[in-house]
Structure 1
C-alpha cells in the first residue's frame, strides 16, 4: 500500500512538471489512481478513466495582459456557495491529492526515529567490533535516512505548492484537510 501511495505521489509530482495529460481512475478498492501514460491504465479500468488536459498555456500575469482585467470585472459576482474550483477537479480529487502527499509524508516522518535508532545500534557495533560489514551497514542506513529526509523536504514543498494551487483555484479549506 505504501508503494502505491509513493508511486501515486511520484506520478502526480512529475505529471505537473511535464505538463502532460493526466488520467484518473478509481480501482475496485476505492483507491484513486493517477498517471500521465494511458498505457499504464489497467484494461478493466479504461472505461472509468477521466482525462484532465495538460496545462500548456499558463495563466497570464496581470502585467502581461492589462486588457483582460476589465473583462474579468464585467462578469456578474459569483456566490461563494456556488463557486466551484476553476481547475475542474472534484472534491474527491482535491482531497485525494492532499491525502496522498500527507500520508507519504507521515509515513516517512514516522519511520525516521526507527531508522535513527537502527543507525545508533550500527554505530555501536561498528565502534566495538570494527568489522567492514558493520561499516557498510552503517553507511547504507545513513544513506536511507538522508534519502528519507530529502524526500520529506520534497513532499513538504509539493504540499505547499498544492496548497498554493488550491488557493488560486478557490478550493475550500475543508477539501484540503
Structure 2
C-alpha cells in the first residue's frame, strides 16, 4: 500500500500542471500595451478593443472578441509583425535618448549657472538655478516614465513570444 501511495505521489509531482490564467490586453491612445487579470480594470473606452490572452504552460494565444478565423496578423506575436515591434522599440528608445541628451545639456548649464552664482552672488542667478533644477526634475520624471513604457513594452513582447532580435 505504501509503494502505491508513494508512486502516486511521485507521478503527481512529475506530471505537468494544467494551470491556466486569463489576462486581458489592450492598447491605449498613446499606443502603450496594458495587461490586467480583471476585465473591470480596463477603461470603458478600451473594453471593446481588449483581447483575452490565455496563459498556460504552452505559448500564449490571443483570443480577440468575436474572432472566428485566424488572420495572419493574429498569428504574428502579439498580433503585430516584426516591423511594428522594431519600430515601437526604436521610437521609445529614440525618445529616451533625446530626453537623456537634453538632461545632460541642462546639467552642464546648471554647473555653469552655479559657477556664476559663486562668483557674482546675484539673485537672478539663483532664480535661474531654481528654474533649471525644476526643468531637470521634469525631465527626470519623463525619463522615468519612458523607462516604464519600455519595460511594459518589453514585458508585452515577452508575453507575446516576440523574438529578442525584434526588441533591439
TM-score, normalised on structure 2? 0.58
The superposition leaves residues 47-81 of structure 1 with CA deviations (integer Å, 9 ceiling, x where unpaired) of xxxxxx722x554677xxxxxx9xx8xxxxxxxxx
For 1:133-144, list aligned pairs within 5 A.
133-144=124-135
* Equivalence for 2:99: 108
Consecutive unaligned residues in structure 2, runs of 5 or more:
1-28, 35-41, 62-74
The question of whether the paired residues in 2 share the 8 Å contact of 1:19 and 1:54 is answered with: no
Q: What is the deviation of 1:100?
A: 0.9
Q: Residue 19 and residue 60 in structure 1: after superposition, are their counterparts in 2 closer, same or farther (change >3 A)?
A: farther
The superposition leaves residues 80-125 of structure 1 with CA deviations (integer Å, 9 ceiling, x where unpaired) of xxx621x211211111110111001111222322211100111122
| Distance in 1 between residues matched to 2:137 and 2:49, nearest whole Å | 34
For 1:163-174, list aligned pairs within 5 A.
163-174=154-165
Consecutive unaligned residues in structure 1, runs of 5 or more:
1-9, 22-52, 63-68, 73-82
The superposition leaves residues 30-58 of structure 1 with CA deviations (integer Å, 9 ceiling, x where unpaired) of xxxxxxxxxxxxxxxxxxxxxxx722x55
Q: What is the deviation of 1:19?
A: 7.3
The superposition leaves residues 138-166 of structure 1 with CA deviations (integer Å, 9 ceiling, x where unpaired) of 11111111111222122111111111100
Q: Which runs of 4+ in 1 moved over 3 A?
A: 15-21, 57-62
| Distance in 2 between residues matched to 1:151 and 1:93, nearest whole Å | 23
Residue 84 (1) aligns with residue 80 (2): no
* Equivalence for 1:122: 113
Q: What is the deviation of 1:170?
A: 1.3
| Distance in 2 between residues matched to 1:156 and 1:135, nearest whole Å | 31
Once superposed, what is the RMSD of the aligned Cα atoms?
2.9
TM-score, normalised on structure 1? 0.55
Q: Residue 160 and residue 95 in structure 1: after superposition, are their counterparts in 2 closer, same or farther (change >3 A)?
A: same
Larger Rg: 2
> Which of residues 6, 21, 30 is equivalent to 1:11?
30
The question of whether the paired residues in 2 share the 8 Å contact of 1:105 and 1:155 is answered with: yes
